[in-house]
Amino acid sequence: MQLTEVRIAGFGGQGVILSAIILGKAASIFQGEFATMTQNFGPEARGGACSAQLVLSSSPILYPYVIRPEILVVMSQEAYNRFVPELKEGGTLIVEQDLVRVTDLPASTKVYSVPATRLAEELGKRMVLNSVMVGFFAAVTHLLDADAVRRAVADSVPPSFRDLNLKAFEKGFEYGINVAPTPGDTAPEVSVKYFDGVA
């Protein structure tokens, strides 16, 4: 794996930090690569802006901070507005379909959208949307081995919620498989839903 910078952003309560922990653990513990993770968040426990930065590589990482992420995952409009200007040209943008309106992007940006919150609600717990998102991430980026991410999910959540989170992972992964090409294929046109605030 070449050195890849990833930023995950949203608001408190969406599992932003846990998402980054899972992906970093998948790379470093279950895939034998290297990973660093830094985080920042507001003073609010829930509802405040937060983000996590991951650097993933097959060789030791000399600088642990994200400068120009190749992959940006955003789960709120505030996160989109704040961080999308940092996305590297030709980078990959993953958005929570129902919470983020995508506008003014360079044509070279690859955009994937997933209704992660809705898919989590179908399982009965909105709180597992982060596991949906990491499943989707694994499917569309092909950056990490899916089984490594799956094992990291199981290892990172309380035992009483393990089965639910694994179901959420599979739901996100399956959704991503249906919108993403396999490595070497041409990327399909991806439909992005624009959120206009109308129910």
Q: In this predicted structure, what is the pLDDT of residue 199?
A: 30
Q: In this predicted structure, what is the pLDDT of residue 47?
A: 59
Residue 130 resides in a domain: yes
Q: Tally the domains of the chain.
A: 1
Q: In this predicted structure, what is the pLDDT of residue 189?
A: 38
Q: In this predicted structure, what is the pLDDT of residue 184?
A: 45
Residue 199 resides in a domain: no
Provide DSSP, 87-147: SPTT-EEEEETTT----S--TT-EEEEE-HHHHHHHTT-GGGHHHHHHHHHHHHH--S-HH
CB 71 within 8 A of CB 19: no
Q: What is the CATH number of the domain that holds 53?
A: 3.40.920.10
Instruction: List, in sequence order, every residue forming a beta bridge with 41; answer none if it has no partner.
Output: 50
Residue 194 resides in a domain: no
Q: In this predicted structure, what is the pLDDT of residue 196?
A: 37
Residue 196 resides in a domain: no
Residue 104 resides in a domain: yes
Return the structure tokens found at 73: 């995952």
Residue type, 65: Y
Rounded Cα distance, 66 and 7, in Å: 7
Report the predicted TM-score, pTM, of the whole model to 2 decimal places: 0.86
Residue 195 resides in a domain: no
Domain that holds residue 103: 4-177
Q: In this predicted structure, what is the pLDDT of residue 169?
A: 97
pLDDT lower than 50: segments of the chain: 44-45, 182-199
Residue 40 resides in a domain: yes
Residue 187 resides in a domain: no
